[in-house]
Amino acid sequence: MFEVLTDSFRSAINKIRFSDDEKSLKSALENLKKALLKADVHHKIVRDLLRQVEIETKAKGIGQANFLRSLKTHLTDILTVPGRQGFVFASKPPTTVLMVGLQGSGKTTTTVKLANYLKLKQKKVLVVACDLQRLAAVEQLKQLCSANEIDLYFEDESVNPLAIAKNAMKKAKEGLYDVVLIDTAGRLAIDTELMEQLESIKKEVTPDEVFYVADSMTGQDAVRSAVTFHEKITLSGVILSKFDGDGKGGVALGIAEQTNVPLRFIGVGEKVADLEHFIPDRIVSRLMGEGDLETLAEKTSAIIDEKQAKAMSQKIKKGQFNFNDFLEQMEQMKKLGSMKSLIGMIPGLSSVAGKLQDVDMENSVEMKRIKAMIGSMTRKEREDPELLNNSRKRRIAEGSGLSQVEVNRFLKQFGNAAKMAKKFSGKKGMQDLQNMLAQNKHAHLR
Ligand SMILES: Nc1nc2c(ncn2[C@@H]2O[C@H](COP(=O)(O)OP(=O)(O)O)[C@@H](O)[C@H]2O)c(=O)[nH]1
Ligand SMILES: [Mg+2]
């Protein structure tokens, strides 16, 4: 997302690395200005920001550290809108959220991501299909919800979103749901009919929150339509979708500055797990190419159970890592979301992440083959790779529809990987990494 900005920031910052005088500050500011405008940040925001950074850097003494600190503070200030952060539960359930935005902005995907996020918090969530505009919209929700075991309220025959919303609320109350997420129709552009429909749904369900989903890739257009939606139906939060894309960073600053509605979450990929809290100073760190270890530590610690991780590393050390463990590890990886977004949080690697194609490990041909192979093994074989002699290998090849050469290759790779893991498991490097993550986690919990 912020790659354009991050790269240009670095070049602006480097301008004052060697010669700490007024001339180098001027040229750094000039570079910064170009970077911000290129990233589609509104010119008024740019002007104010530059002025503040200049005054402050001069007052504190021209130098890279002061320049950076000042830039960071002011960017964080712009992104910090007073109000709610993350997901806030109403005092009386169900907490009702209306999801609004233009067509294609990511409403439906984000609705399912939020539902999944709340489900992981042990909440009972009902998603409501109120988009009757697009033919395939209800079908899309049915698939997403069933794949992620999320309850969905829909009416196949109805053409009236208002009635659906009403009936859904009744069901939510009877079913003692904690949260109701209402996915609505979008248009390509704002029109009166759409706004009236949203207004009437809003009146009917009196939601606790109205979340506007903004497509980060659409720059100033997203800012403008956020402003209009806010004028017409009053938003209480903004979610920036497609934050992983190569859109321009200006959209976050623009929406925060021009609507004064707090940014609550960001979508960082197409998978359900790709949703993160919007935390201004962390976003700024990422923006400046410094990574975001806190979010990474939280993500991993929420998914990876410490006890389980220990047990796994014991197994690796003893050379007992088997096929069941392998499948389990793959499941864990899946829950972490996209690789690209994870790598971007590691300091120094954000520019690398931008250049990566996201690997869809789970759906890769290779992974499907491996799953088929493991699927053709008996329980005993999965627990003990040593059992696999030639006749068993032949059977597995037949069962998984693969050649024996392929089965052999996988088994060899698996054996090598297990050996490597065993070799490294005692090494200090792993310990350091674990300590670092643990420290970060505790720092955050304080
Ligand atoms: N890369 C990426 N794609 C996203 C994200 N959110 C949504 N999308 C994609 O954007 C497209 C439109 O999303 P959808 O939820 O159907 O939009 P809606 O019309 O507003 O409901 C789909 O192809 C999604 O997979 C995101 O955070 N990152
Ligand atoms: Mg939709």
Each residue's pLDDT tens digit, 411-423: 888 887 777 666 6
In DSSP terms, 100 is beta-bridged to 212
CB atoms under 10 Å from CB of 240, counted, come to 29
Ligand nearest to the CA of 130: 2
CA of 108 to the centre of ligand 1 (A): 7
CA of 232 to the centre of ligand 1 (A): 24
pLDDT in tens, 190-224: 788 889 999 999 999 999 999 999 999 888 889 99
DSSP-derived secondary structure for 95-139:
EEEEEE--TTSSHHHHHHHHHHHHHHTT--EEEEEE--SSTTHHH
pLDDT of residue 431: 55
Q: Kindly report the CA angle at 34 between 253 and 30, in degrees rounded to 5? A: 115
Domains of the chain (ranges, CATH numbers): 3-79 (1.20.120.140), 95-279 (3.40.50.300), 297-445 (1.10.260.30)
Amino acid identity for residue 5 in this structure: L
pLDDT of residue 441: 45
Give the residue-averaged pLDDT of 149-161.
92
Ligand nearest to the CA of 185: 2
- The Cα–Cα gap between 168 and 183 comes to 12
* CA-nearest residue, atom 14 of ligand 1: 106
CA of 268 to the centre of ligand 2 (A): 17
- Residue 187 pLDDT grade (very low, low, confident, very high; cuts 50, 70, 90): confident
pLDDT in tens, 232-284: 999 999 999 998 876 666 788 889 999 999 999 999 999 999 999 999 988 88
pLDDT in tens, 306-326: 677 777 777 777 777 888 888
**Helix (H/G/I), strand (E/B), else coil: 50:** helix
* Low-confidence winner among 225-229, 272-276, 314-318, 431-435 (lowest mean pLDDT): 431-435
pLDDT in tens, 285-312: 777 766 666 676 666 666 666 677 777 7
Q: Looking at ligand 1, which atom is closest to the CA of residue 245?
A: 1
pLDDT in tens, 361-408: 666 777 788 888 998 999 999 988 889 999 999 999 999 899 999 899
What the block records as the tokens of 402 is 């693969």
Q: Give, as one character, the DSSP assignment of residue 417.
A: H
pLDDT of residue 352: 62
Backbone angles phi, psi at 76, to 5 degrees: -65, -40
pLDDT in tens, 85-132: 999 999 999 999 999 999 999 999 999 999 999 999 999 999 999 998
CA of 39 to the centre of ligand 1 (A): 21
Cis-peptide, bond into residue 280, ω within 30° of zero: no
Helix axes 43-60 and 250-259, enclosed angle (nearest 10): 100
Ligand 1 neighbours, Cβ below 6 Å, are: 101, 103-109, 186, 241-242, 244-245, 267-270, 274
Ligand nearest to the CA of 243: 1
pLDDT of residue 170: 97
Length of the chain: 446
- The Cα–Cα gap between 195 and 209 comes to 16
* CA-nearest residue, atom 6 of ligand 1: 106
* Secondary structure (H, E, C), 15-48: HCCCCCCHHHHHHHHHHHHHHHHHCCCCHHHHHH
Among 189, 353, 253, smallest CA distance to 43 is for 253
- The Cα–Cα gap between 84 and 236 comes to 8
Q: Looking at ligand 1, which atom is closest to the CA of residue 109?
A: 15
Whether the predicted pLDDT of 442 surpasses 50: no
Q: Looking at ligand 1, which atom is closest to the CA of residue 140?
A: 16
pLDDT of residue 15: 67
273 close to 340: Cβ distance less than 8 angstroms: no
247 close to 266: Cβ distance less than 8 angstroms: no
pLDDT in tens, 41-92: 888 889 999 999 999 999 988 877 788 889 889 999 999 999 999 999 999 9
DSSP-derived secondary structure for 153-195:
E--SS---HHHHHHHHHHHHHHTT-SEEEEEE---SS--HHHH
Ligand nearest to the CA of 129: 2
- The Cα–Cα gap between 319 and 100 comes to 52
- Residue 439 pLDDT grade (very low, low, confident, very high; cuts 50, 70, 90): low
* CA-nearest residue, atom 1 of ligand 1: 269
Testing ligand 1's pocket by substitution, the residue of 218, 241, 340, 358 carrying the most ligand atoms inside 8 A of its CB is 241
CA of 321 to the centre of ligand 2 (A): 43
Among 175, 177, 169, 185, smallest CA distance to 134 is for 185
CA of 104 to the centre of ligand 1 (A): 6
pLDDT of residue 201: 96
pLDDT of residue 365: 76
- The Cα–Cα gap between 406 and 408 comes to 5
CA of 187 to the centre of ligand 2 (A): 10
